[in-house]
Each structure stands twice: as structure tokens, then as C-alpha cells.
Structure 1
Amino acid sequence: MAETKAPTLLHQFLVWEREKADTVYLTQPLADGRVVDYRWAEVGDQARRMAAHLRSLQFPPGSSIAIIGKNSAHWLIADLAIMMAGHVSVPLYPTLGAESARYILDHCEARLLFVGKLDGSSDNWPLIETTLPPDLPLLGLPMNPRADIPQWDDVIARHAPLQQVHDARPEELCTIVYTSGSTGQPKGVMHSYRSMQSPGPALADGFSITASDRLLSYLPLAHVAERAVIESNSLYFGIHVYFCDSLDTFIADLQRAQPTIFFSVPRLWTKFQQGVNAKLPPAKQRLLFALPLVSRLVKRKILRGLGLDKARVAITASAPLAPDIIAWYRQLGLELLDIYGMSENFGVSHASRLGEMRIGYVGSCHRGVEARIDANGELLVKSPGQMMGYYKLPEQTAHDTLPDGFFHTGDLGEIDEQGRLRITGRVKDLFKTARGKYVAPVPLENMLANCPKLESVCVTGLGQPQPFALLRLSEEARQALERDPGQRDALDVEVGALLAQINATVEHHEELGYAVVVKEPWTTENGLLTPTLKIKRAAIEERYQAGAAAWLAMGRKVIWE
């Protein structure tokens, strides 16, 4: 397919609305088992009606309109309505802490909040709701939990479709994406219509995407990665997008969608493999895979059971995936391609390509991207997806962006002779031990994270003789211990062996002195994880630093809280 010539994603939507009017764009499963399809013309009609309502409120042009809710067809339709009305979307994670949500709404000066699909159990809505600005108008998307606020269907029924939608300019502000912030307050990353469109050309170059592809949206749309893969690409190429109803229906929803392009994160790729292993033990897999006549059928059946038998592009991102898991999927016929990007460049930075993948590396530059490593080992990137800046933070923007347009990513990296990038840590995460040696915790954490029995890990050790690891067991491992406490000894040995294995491959000053298996859950609610489930290093270190002296004195390799 030739690249679009439309100047923005909004203009391109208008093309699809006209040319693909009767083609399904969005598929939404409902809790009662029904599945609703929305065609391009219907999406346009609803978005135009809501845009007419937003215009009727007479907000100043470019006002901030916030959206909170799980992924749904109407999340995207609401975003289109905001664009059509000439305003700026501000997505909020449903799992945000109440204080962070209030900070964002105040900081961006939100004029209205779209309240979407929320259940109050797997999100933080009950607490967020209590801290909303009292004068902030709310408007409910379908499936929202509030019956006492204006509802989408009622509102659009009162308005005719807006005919003259906003004529957006590529350089104009389109959205403010607040980073989840592992330290300090969230920062509002401003993206233009141009940078929001940049994932399309970037992925077209490496993955040959066309309108016949299918996508499943289930990772948070408040995150740039999902927004880039799902919203930007579906609008750029005219792709059919499917949604999920709930975690319980995820596999059924995945099987319905049969995505040809599937984007996930290491934690979920690992869970998929564990689910298969629970039904078909690895020893039996090896036996069946070795039989030429049945191997192909078994592998196809496994992929079909996962809903991935039609996937031709499988993407992993956010953290390294264990080599043995990559090899397992490769054996099934699914090549997992690593990509790398950040909120500040709308995810447009690096990607692996078929035939060029190197395990441990996140690929080479997308078309139009430049990258270099500075004298301190930090990765600097210049991208077509580059942000306009941080909202209301001109000094921070100037500090992080060089005069030649390169951005300080904050990541430490290495680039091989073929231009492939390996991320080796975070600049700000480096800490100095009592020996005066600097340690980068991320590579050690990545090696620990290869153990499927660990859910979260944090390596720390500022001022300590050696770094040490804080470990949170996976839900499966915790349940197994509850059923049979006697398994603790075996797990103790397994963790000790993992430490020995890691210590044999690193410099002496990087060797892990011991590991602590912690009791307390690490969650977004208690402030130890970000909304994207990354560790909040500073908060975790503050929580556990008081125990370091006593743990060291125990002289054991594995300590249980």
C-alpha cells in the first residue's frame, strides 16, 4: 500500500470514513456476550456528533479534554471527537494513584473528563473519583460506572454531526501524554499531529503493514506504545481493531481477533508460555516437536489455542525477554521482534526486523531516526516522533534536548557494527557501593527476571559492600507455597542457584551479595509500581533500606521476610 498523503491522522480518518464507510473499523465485545461492530461511517457519525457537543460547550480552542477508562471502541471514538472539535486529549491510566490523577487534571487544566469502562476492582477508580476537581464536568462513555452523569448515547442523540471538523495542522498540539513517573510528579509530554502520525511510516518500512491486517487492543491506551501501535497505525493504514471485554475473556477475545500484528510485553509472553506448559509439559513438547509428522500440527495447534496462528508480526517491548522464551516461540514459528521507544518520541526509535534480530538487542533505527552514544554512555535519539516539549516545563525541555535536536533518553546503551542497539541500564539508576564502584542495576534485574517464579525484582545497594536483590514472587509461586509450604526449601535452593549463575557472569563489584524474598505486594496502590507496572525504584529503596544491615549480618544468600 502506498503511504498516505493526508497531512494528519484526522485527515486520514476522513479519507477512510468516505472510502471505507461500510467496512468494520472497531469490534467491541460486551459483558453479556454480544459483540458490536462499528463501521468507519458510524465511527465518524458518532465522533462528529460528540465533537458538535464539545463545540457547543464553547471551550477555548485547544482545551485539554481528559479520558480515563480501559480500552474500548469509544475510547478511540472520543479521541477522534476531541480532534474534530479542535481540542487536546489527555489520557489517564485507570490504575493511577488518586493524587497523581488529581495532579494531572489540575496541571493540564482539564475542561471535561470522559469516564469510560471501569470496574473498580482492577482499576483505581473508586479512589480517583473521590479526588476529582469538584467543578470538573464528567461525561460517560458506554460501559462507564456512573449512572448519574451525562451519557454518551444521550448526548450524541441531541446533536447533528459536525460537518466542518477542525482542520488540524501537522505542527499543532494533539495530545498530552503524562509519563507515569518512577520519581517525582508525572510530566506532560506534548505531541503534535505530526509526531502522532510518525509510527505509520516507521512501521511500514519494516513490517509491510496493510489495511488487511488486524490488531487487538488490550494494553493501556494511556501509554504511548499502545497508542502508537493501535490508534496511530489503525488510522494511518485503515486497520480493523478488536478489543477485549475482560481479563477472563482475554483468550477468547484474542482468538476472535486472530491478530496479524500482535504487540505484548515480556510478562505476558512469559505467561502465555507458562499456560501452554501447564497443559502440555515441556518434556512432552520436546518429544512431539521431534516427530516430523506431528510437529507441525502440534505447533499450529498451540498457536491457534493462543489466538496467534495468524500473527505474522509479533512484537515485544519494555524489557528484555529471556532467550529461552524467544527460542520457544521461534520453535513454534513465531519470531518475536523487539522494539524500543519512549513517550518523548511516540515510540518511534528502534525495531528488530526479520532476519536481523540479535537476542538482547532492540534492533536498529526506524527510518528517519538518528541515534548516537555520548561520552557518558547515554543514548541520544533524534526522531520524527519527537515531542514538542514537556507541558509547562520549558526548562526541563531545554535540559533534555540538545541544540541539534537530539534527546537525552536517560538510557545507557551500546550500538553494534550493524547499528543494532542494546540497552544496558538507566543513567539515574547507577549507584555506588561501599567499595566506591558504580553498579547498573537493570542488567542484573533483567537476568533475575528470567526466572518465571519472580514477578518483580529490584537490585539496590547504595553504600553497601555488595548490591543485593529484592524479589517479589509470582502469583503462581505464592499460591504453590500456600498449598505446600514445604516447597520453600526447593525455592530457596533455586534462587540461590540463580544468584550463583548470575555472579559467575558479572564483575566482582556487581556480584549480588544476597536476595530478599519480600512479603508485601508491590502495587500501584501502595506506590511501589508505576501504572505501567514498572518498579518505582526510589520508593522501594526507601521502603526496604532500613533492613539492609540486619540482612547483611545474617550471612545467608536467600532471606525470607
Structure 2
Amino acid sequence: MPTIPADSLALQRFYHWERTLGSRVALTQPMGAGVVQEFTWAQVADQVRRMAAHLQAQGKAQGWEPGAKVAILSKNCAWWLMSDLAIWMAGYVSVPLYPTLASETIRQILTHSEAKACFVGKLDGWSGMKPGIPEGLPCISYPLSPDDAKKSYEGWDAICARNQPLAGEPIRQADDLATLIYTSGTTGAPKGVMHSFGAFAWALSAALKRIPMSADDRMLSYLPLAHVVERVLVEHGWLRTGFAVYFADSLDTFAADLQRARPTIFFSVPRLWVKFQQGVQAKMPQKKLDFLLSLPIIGGLVRRKIMKALGLDQCRIAAGGAAPMPVALLQWYRKLGLNICEGYGMTENLAVSHITLPGEDQIGTVGPAYDGIETRIDPASGELLMRSPALMLGYYKQPELTAEVITEDGWLRTGDKGQIDAKGLLRITGRVKDLFKTSKGKYVAPAPIEDRLGQHPSVEACVVTGASMGQPVGVVMLSPDAAGHSGTAAERAELSSKLSAHLDDINAKLDPHEQLDCLVVIKTPWTVDNGFITPTFKIKRNRVEEVYGPQLEGWVSERKKVVFGD
């Protein structure tokens, strides 16, 4: 790893803001019922130091080894970030857990990581998660924790009140392990990705060259902090630049949270960008919107009005990622004057790999690599390989799995197939392992077909499958609006007609062996709770195939272009 300046490491940056911007608001936390609590850098530092003192004392009393693991199970909130800092300041390693995990997965991660304690914070469905907490594991609750957690575990405020702030500026070195990020994973059990403080620092330095951020910026934190993008962009971006972080309260208040934060930098996953689009289209038909946008003066007023209604009128950098961004969606936002940068990365490389350049016409690609990133395409498999100082140290306690994805000379096997053009722009063409073979012996890459399927407004999510079948099949989940208007025979007939036309358009552009036999329409939502999607809205292909695979042949035998599967 190249030399990492000590003053770019997370804790050192925190001490810098404590010294220089102590009276400035660092975190803005909604407390419910319209109440908002603000924390200055000095107030954050005071609480972090008190909690770090408690963790050190507890570790000493219980014989925790240096670098012991401490978990965080909570939705995003001010105490999440303060917990992470306190863990680091006390000399330990943080283990964040997604706040939507089933109890079995929670127990698996806490056991595998050998967590010595756990912060139990703001959560929905805590009663279902609680059985995953090993008996006897010391836990700490937050002011926004569920009532049962507050009764079961000592509270953050009480602990801070009885501890004096930890003195001095304890530091961690660049090579020190900072965290284990357990991958949400579309297949298999989560793996603990090990990242150092130096890797985070290098990733931020690379990101800032492409996405300039400063203390004058504002970000809304709402995607799980357990996910690598939110962790790098929000937490470490905050620590590096000192910008203000606002937290979302709930899904019901999300629109109001956006209006309150007025973010200048905003990242979202494709599914949420689609929901924003559908919200606009529900109030104004696309034909009318296109007409108004074509008018010289009125078009500008309409654009500003829509952006203000979305809470994005102050947004100077918009980005998307975690799953492919449909080209049509990017073009739709571009017409509104919002150029969304599409990023590409993985937990294993701290999500710092590629991103499109603001203002450049790079739609359909994920842009060029960040400075300092090496990339190449494996000539045999077409797989993208990359190398950088932000690569993981490996999978925790799984050296054999580490060896499968990192070559002896330090290249990460991404698992993604890609093409790099003459300008250095990367186009992701599918997953190496997602390819499947039909009964005709032909390979099908589902990702590009799914991208086209998802462009229909009635389609919320989709999977193309059909291994060992004559032709591929598209399984589509309806958007909430379409699902709500498909109950009667007449509504289904109308929807079937529209989707049939969409299927014809797609098949006309595919090779014969790729053409879809039919579309199977699923009304039941695919959610994190029922196991169809990950916490970052990636579809679990194996789960879809497991549930619907046995019925595919039957649906195909109906010889209809569109089959309603539930």
C-alpha cells in the first residue's frame, strides 16, 4: 500500500474537526413527532469519548484482546456513527449488521465475528431479531431503540453520564483493521470483509478527485450504514471533509426528510430513483411532461419545480449504484437537468472502482476507473479484474475463500463480465456465474435483457431465468401501482396487452436463442423479509429460481406471451 498521510485516517480527521469546528452542527437527528436534535462536533466528541471510556473499561474487566470485535445493529442514526468512533477510539474493531436481518443471520454474524458486545439501536421488528442475540452478550441501547431493548439493556445516555471522557487522542495506524463488513450477498452466507483504516483513507482520497466534497456540503443518510457505499460516502466522507449529515426518520417521512436536508450530494439505488420517477409520473403524464419540458421558458420552471418537490433542488452531485441503472431512467433524469453519475464497486474494494463523470455523456457505461485503479479483462472468461490500495485484507477467518477472489499478484476477481472501450469506459455486460445454458446448448446472459425488461413502468423488478429450458423466461414483479390495478379481468387484459407489446419489442432486438418464451407476472412483492432481495435491493436470483423454477415449465406450456403466476 502507498504511504497514507496520518492526518487522512478516520480518527485523526475526527480529532481535527473536534479542535477546529467544535461549535458547528455535525449531525442532525429526527427524534419523531417533528422533533429534531442537533449535535455539534464538540457534543459528538464528548459522547464518543465517554462511550470509548466505557468500552475500554468493559474490555479490561472482561479480558477483551486488542482489536476485539464490537457489533452495531441499528438503522442509521447519530448514535450509529458515534458508536463506530467510540469502538475505534477504544482500540476495537466494528462489525455493522443490516437492520433488516433475520435472527438466524444475526446470530451467525455475531458468532462468526466473535463479537464481545453489541449496540442495539433504532430498529423495526426487534422482537423477531432479538432471538439472534447470543445469551449473555453485553448490549447497549440507544435513545431511539425499541422499548423492549431499552428495558433489557443499559442505555447510551446513562453510560455516558457515569463515565468521564477518554482523554488524549488515541490513534489507529493505517494497517490496523477498522471493520468487518459482512456482505449482504445475493447467494450463500455473508462473508466478513476485512478493511483497514488505510484502505478507507485511500478510497476517500481517490473519490474526492472525482467527486469533490467540502464542509459546506450536506448529505442525507438513509441507505444502510452497514453497506459499503453509505459507509464510505457518508461516514468517511463526513470524517474527511466535515460536511453536515442529516438522518432520515422513516419511510413515511422520507419526502419530508429530503426537504429538511436539501442534500447537495445525493446517492440512491436504482429502485428508489425509479420510485421518484413514478411519483412524478403519477402527478403528470409523461406526454404532458415532455411537452412542457420542450417549451423554452416553461420547461426551465417545470424542471426547477420538480427538483424542489423532490428535495433535490440544491443537489449538485447525484449518483446511483449498487445495481445497474437502466439507460432510459438516466435519460429521463437528464431531461430534468439532473445528471446522475453511475458508480460501480464492491464491498471488497470499498466501492471505489468506476464512476461516470458529471456532465459527460457516458450513459450505458459505469465510466472510467478512479485514479490509481488498475483494471483488465480476463481474455478467457471476459471477467473484470481490478487492483487498488482499497482492496480488502481478505475474508475474516476464510483464507480459502480469499484465495478464490484475490490472485497471488493482488488482482480482485470481481465476478462481473465487462468490456473496456478505447476511452477507458467500462461497460458491465453481466455476471460470470449468472450465465446459464438453455436446452439448446446456448448460453444466455440475463443482465442486459433484465435491463430492458425493467424499463416498463409496470415492472418493479425482474429476473431472466431458464437453465435447461428451450428458451429463457422473464419473471417480473409488478410495481405497486400496476399491482393495485390488475385485480379484475379487464385490468389484467389491459396489462397483458401492454406487457405483450413490451415483450415483442425486447425479443425483436435479441438473438433467437435469447428471446423470451413468455413473461410470468408476480404480484407478491419481493422484499428483504421474504428473502427475495438483499438490504440494498439486489434481487436474489437463486431465491427467485428456487421458488418459481419448478413452475416455469407449466407456465410456458400455457403458450401465452404473458402469464399471471399468482
Q: TM-score category by the smaller chain?
A: over 0.9
CA distance in 1, matches of 2:360, 2:302: 27
Q: Give SS of 1:409's match.
A: strand
**Counterpart check, 1:344 vs 2:345:** no
Render the CA deviation track for 1:89-141: whole Å, top value 9, x for unaligned. Answer: 11111111221111101000111110111132xxxx32221232112111002
Render the CA deviation track for 1:214-246: whole Å, top value 9, x for unaligned. Answer: 111111111001111100111111111111111
CA distance in 2, matches of 1:435, 1:553: 17
1:486 alignment partner, one of 473, 483, 490: 490
- Contact in 1 for aligned 2:340/2:358 (Cα 8 Å): no
**Counterpart check, 1:230 vs 2:234:** yes
> Paired residue for 1:21?
22
Give the letter aligned to residue 451 of structure 1: H
Render the CA deviation track for 1:316-358: whole Å, top value 9, x for unaligned. Answer: 1123333333222212221111011100001110011124342
Name whichever of 341-350 and 248-257 sits farther off: 248-257
> Paired residue for 2:155?
151
**Counterpart check, 1:283 vs 2:287:** yes
> Paired residue for 2:416?
411
> Paired residue for 2:213?
209
CA distance in 2, matches of 1:552, 1:273: 33
> Paired residue for 1:495?
499
**Counterpart check, 1:182 vs 2:186:** yes
> Paired residue for 2:93?
88
CA distance in 1, matches of 2:522, 2:244: 43
Are residues 253 and 283 of structure 1, via their aligned partners in 2, closer, same or farther at CA, if it must alter by over 3 Å? same
Q: Which runs of 5+ in 1 are unaligned?
A: none
Name whichever of 201-210 and 278-287 sits farther off: 278-287
CA distance in 2, matches of 1:56, 1:235: 26
Q: Give SS of 1:82's match.
A: helix
Give the letter aligned to residue 467 of structure 2: L
- Contact in 2 for aligned 1:320/1:360 (Cα 8 Å): no
- Contact in 1 for aligned 2:107/2:133 (Cα 8 Å): yes
> Paired residue for 1:316?
320
> Paired residue for 1:266?
270
Q: TM-score, normalised by structure 2?
A: 0.95
1:328 alignment partner, one of 327, 332, 354: 332
CA distance in 1, matches of 2:6, 2:333: 37
**Counterpart check, 1:299 vs 2:303:** yes
- Contact in 1 for aligned 2:464/2:473 (Cα 8 Å): yes
CA distance in 2, matches of 1:211, 1:527: 39
Q: Give SS of 2:485's match.
A: helix
- How far did residue 519 of structure 1 move? 4.5
Render the CA deviation track for 1:162-218: whole Å, top value 9, x for unaligned. Answer: 013532010110000001122221100001001122332122111222211111111
Give the letter aligned to residue 342 of structure 2: D
1:435 alignment partner, one of 424, 432, 440: 440
> Paired residue for 2:386?
381
1:97 alignment partner, one of 102, 107, 112: 102
- Contact in 1 for aligned 2:271/2:537 (Cα 8 Å): no
- Contact in 2 for aligned 1:344/1:387 (Cα 8 Å): yes
Identity, % of aligned positions: 49
1:466 alignment partner, one of 460, 467, 471: 471
> Paired residue for 2:132?
131
- How far did residue 7 of structure 1 move? 4.3
Name whichever of 47-56 and 358-367 sits farther off: 358-367
Q: Give SS of 2:516's match.
A: coil
Give the letter aligned to residue 346 of structure 1: L
Q: TM-score, normalised by structure 1?
A: 0.96
Name whichever of 247-256 and 46-55 sits farther off: 247-256
> Paired residue for 1:395?
400
- Contact in 1 for aligned 2:323/2:538 (Cα 8 Å): no
CA distance in 2, matches of 1:299, 1:530: 33
Render the CA deviation track for 1:129-167: whole Å, top value 9, x for unaligned. Answer: 123211211100220002211000000001011013532
**Counterpart check, 1:451 vs 2:456:** yes
Render the CA deviation track for 1:291-325: whole Å, top value 9, x for unaligned. Answer: 32322222111111111111110001123333333
Q: Give SS of 2:240's match.
A: helix
Q: Give SS of 2:193's match.
A: strand
Q: Give SS of 2:428's match.
A: strand
> Paired residue for 2:33?
32
Name whichever of 82-91 and 284-293 sits farther off: 284-293
> Paired residue for 1:518?
522
- How far did residue 485 of structure 1 move? 4.8
Give the letter aligned to residue 284 of structure 1: K
CA distance in 2, matches of 1:213, 1:198: 21
- How far did residue 80 of structure 1 move? 0.6
Aligned length in residues: 554
- How far did residue 552 of structure 1 move? 2.4
Q: Give SS of 2:342's match.
A: strand
CA distance in 2, matches of 1:265, 1:54: 35
Q: Which runs of 5+ in 2 are unaligned?
A: none
- Contact in 2 for aligned 1:340/1:350 (Cα 8 Å): yes
- Contact in 2 for aligned 1:203/1:209 (Cα 8 Å): no
Name whichever of 520-529 and 13-22 sits farther off: 520-529
- How far did residue 83 of structure 1 move? 0.7
> Paired residue for 2:512?
508
Q: Give SS of 1:38's match.
A: strand
Aligned CA RMSD, in angstroms, stands at: 1.5
- Contact in 2 for aligned 1:199/1:229 (Cα 8 Å): no
CA distance in 1, matches of 2:474, 2:277: 25
Are residues 465 and 185 of structure 1, via their aligned partners in 2, closer, same or farther at CA, if it must alter by over 3 Å? same
Render the CA deviation track for 1:499-549: whole Å, top value 9, x for unaligned. Answer: 111111122111111111125432222322222222222222122221122
- How far did residue 463 of structure 1 move? 0.5
